[in-house]
């Protein structure tokens, strides 16, 4: 049975992606790679990241893709708007017919009708920058290859954000995790992989605590957060929700690139943290004209020291 490298939220950070490539070759039996989305946005190398991940197919890897919210915005599926920007508010009122914040919220919550997504200033600016630089071949690749969700086999689901809302829901706590387990898309699923929050973790629920009746599912208790870095899945007894973290923009206080290895035979997930040249990515962001704050959020000096330490060890 194969091993799968499951990654998310590279966010156009080529140095971080190359670092995990180097980690892949250390892993015996790893021939499958799954991207859970947000290959682009925030970072300085969108085209290089898309082509770099695809290049793994020439090295014998199978690569599959879920669509992320930043990917979808870069492709024009959604428009990012900044509610702190008076021009955006005027556009929404006069052109989109969304007269107030309540109307904006209603259209956002309607997954079939949503078009305008309230985001931070950085997110809006970076997507505009990305659209200018993501040429048509890369756009077509993302459009044709990316799915809203995919399966890694019976009972194993992959999405970008959540089975309740594959692009935009943030699963940050046990309450949200409980709602996820109750989602219709989770029927028959014992392991769900997702990203979006940039914060790795595993929630688990005993399978006998999920009650199904009259077409609905109810958790009798909230899933609990379990410690890593290696977690036993026990698919016959447990329902597991696995947030794989972020390759290119970690937000859990550890600036290293993060991804997981899912071992089907051992029924485990292993979180792997890989140092990369944070300083190089920061400088690229500053040189590109993207907001300087996007460079600042990548990590602190201790992350850069970890790169130097890893290089000395090699």
Residue 92 has a pLDDT of 96
The whole-angstrom separation of Cα 99 and Cα 95 is: 10
What's the number of domains the chain is made of?
Answer: 2
User: For position 160, which CATH number holds?
Assistant: 3.60.21.10
State which of 118, 140, 171 marks the end of a domain.
118
Q: Could you tell me which residues are beta bridge partners of residue 6?
A: 34, 260
pLDDT tens sequence across 119-159: 999 999 999 999 999 999 999 999 999 999 999 999 999 99
- Residues 42 and 128 both lie in one domain: yes
- Residues 92 and 210 both lie in one domain: no
**Least confident range of 7-16, 66-75, 135-144, 214-223:** 214-223
Check residues 12 and 305 and name the one with the higher pLDDT.
Answer: 12
- Residues 29 and 102 both lie in one domain: no
Question: Pairing state of beta strands 257-263 and 3-7?
Answer: antiparallel
User: Does the pLDDT at position 311 exceed 50?
Assistant: no
Contacts of 221 (CB under 8 A, 6+ apart): 205, 209
Please provide the average confidence, as pLDDT, over all residues in the chain.
93
pLDDT category at 300 given cuts 50, 70, 90 is: low
Residue 193 has a pLDDT of 98
- Residues 69 and 103 both lie in one domain: no
Contacts of 142 (CB under 8 A, 6+ apart): 39, 40, 50, 65, 67, 71, 74, 75
Are 74 and 46 within 8 A, CB to CB?
Answer: yes
pLDDT tens sequence across 114-130: 999 999 999 999 999 99
User: Does the pLDDT at position 301 exceed 60?
Assistant: no
Residue 293 CB-density burial (10 A; 0-12 exposed, 13-18 middle, 19+ buried): exposed
Residue in the block written with tokens 């969700």: 149
Query: Which of left, alpha, beta for 65 (phi over 0: left; psi -120 to 50: alpha)?
Result: beta
- Residues 173 and 48 both lie in one domain: yes
- Residues 171 and 234 both lie in one domain: yes
Residue 304 has a pLDDT of 41
User: Does the pLDDT at position 291 exceed 50?
Assistant: yes
Nearest by Cα to 161 from 228, 237, 248, 71: 71
User: Does the pLDDT at position 307 exceed 60?
Assistant: no
Residue 215 has a pLDDT of 80
Q: Give the structural domain span for 93.
A: 83-118
User: Would you give the end-to-end CA distance of the chain in angstroms?
Assistant: 31
- Residues 8 and 96 both lie in one domain: no
- Residues 200 and 294 both lie in one domain: yes
Residue 2 has a pLDDT of 87
pLDDT tens sequence across 39-61: 999 999 999 999 999 999 999 99
Chain centroid, CA 101 distance in Å: 27
Nearest by Cα to 285 from 129, 83, 60: 129
Q: Could you tell me which residues are beta bridge partners of residue 219?
A: 210
Backbone angles phi, psi at 145, to 5 degrees: -95, -25
Backbone angles phi, psi at 69, to 5 degrees: -65, -35
- Residues 167 and 212 both lie in one domain: yes
Nearest by Cα to 291 from 115, 43, 110, 6: 43
Overall average pLDDT of the 211-232 stretch: 91
Residue 134 has a pLDDT of 95
- Residues 168 and 267 both lie in one domain: yes
Alpha helices in the chain (DSSP H): 14-24, 46-54, 69-74, 86-94, 101-109, 121-133, 136-145, 174-181, 278-288, 292-296, 301-313
- Residues 248 and 281 both lie in one domain: yes
- Give this prediction's pTM: 0.93
User: Does the pLDDT at position 305 exceed 50?
Assistant: no
Contacts of 155 (CB under 8 A, 6+ apart): 188, 189, 190, 191, 235
pLDDT category at 314 given cuts 50, 70, 90 is: very low
For residue 195, the tally of other CB atoms under 10 A from its CB is 31
Peptide bond connecting 229 to the previous residue in cis, omega within 30 degrees of 0: yes
Residue 28 has a pLDDT of 92
Identify the helix (H) or strand (E) that includes residue 31: strand 30-35
Overall average pLDDT of the 280-300 stretch: 92
- Residues 159 and 281 both lie in one domain: yes
Residue 1 has a pLDDT of 64
Check residues 286 and 212 and name the one with the higher pLDDT.
Answer: 286
pLDDT tens sequence across 18-39: 999 999 999 999 999 999 999 9
Are 242 and 271 within 8 A, CB to CB?
Answer: no
């Amino acid at each position: 049975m194969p091993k799968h490298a499951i990654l998310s939220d590279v966010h156009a950070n080529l140095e971080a992606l190359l670092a995990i490539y180097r980690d892949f070759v250390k892993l015996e039996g790893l021939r499958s790679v799954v991207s859970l989305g947000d290959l682009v946005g925030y970072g300085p190398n969108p085209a290089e990241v898309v082509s770099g991940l695809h290049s793994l197919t020439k090295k014998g890897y199978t690569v599959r893709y879920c669509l992320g919210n930043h990917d979808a915005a870069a492709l024009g599926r959604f428009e990012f708007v900044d509610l702190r920007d008076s021009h955006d508010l005027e556009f929404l009122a006069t052109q989109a017919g969304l007269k107030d914040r309540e109307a904006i919220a209603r259209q956002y919550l309607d997954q079939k009708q949503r078009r305008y997504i309230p985001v931070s200033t950085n997110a809006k600016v970076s997507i505009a920058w990305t659209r200018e630089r993501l040429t048509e071949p890369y756009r077509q690749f993302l459009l044709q290859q990316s799915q809203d969700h995919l399966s890694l086999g019976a009972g194993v689901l992959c999405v970008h954000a959540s089975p309740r809302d594959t692009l935009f829901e943030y699963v940050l706590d046990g309450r949200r995790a409980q709602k996820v387990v109750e989602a219709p898309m989770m029927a028959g699923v014992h392991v769900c992989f997702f990203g979006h929050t940039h914060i790795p973790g595993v929630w688990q629920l005993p399978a006998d605590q999920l009650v199904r009746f009259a077409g609905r599912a109810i958790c009798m208790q909230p899933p609990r957060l379990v410690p890593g870095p290696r977690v036993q899945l026990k698919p016959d007894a447990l329902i597991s929700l696995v947030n794989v973290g972020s390759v290119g923009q970690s937000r859990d206080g550890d600036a290293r690139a993060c991804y997981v290895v899912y071992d089907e035979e051992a029924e485990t997930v292993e979180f792997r943290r890989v140092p990369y040249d944070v300083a190089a990515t920061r400088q690229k962001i500053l040189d590109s004209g993207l907001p300087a704050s996007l460079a600042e959020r990548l990590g602190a000096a201790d992350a850069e020291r970890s790169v130097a330490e890893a290089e000395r060890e090699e």
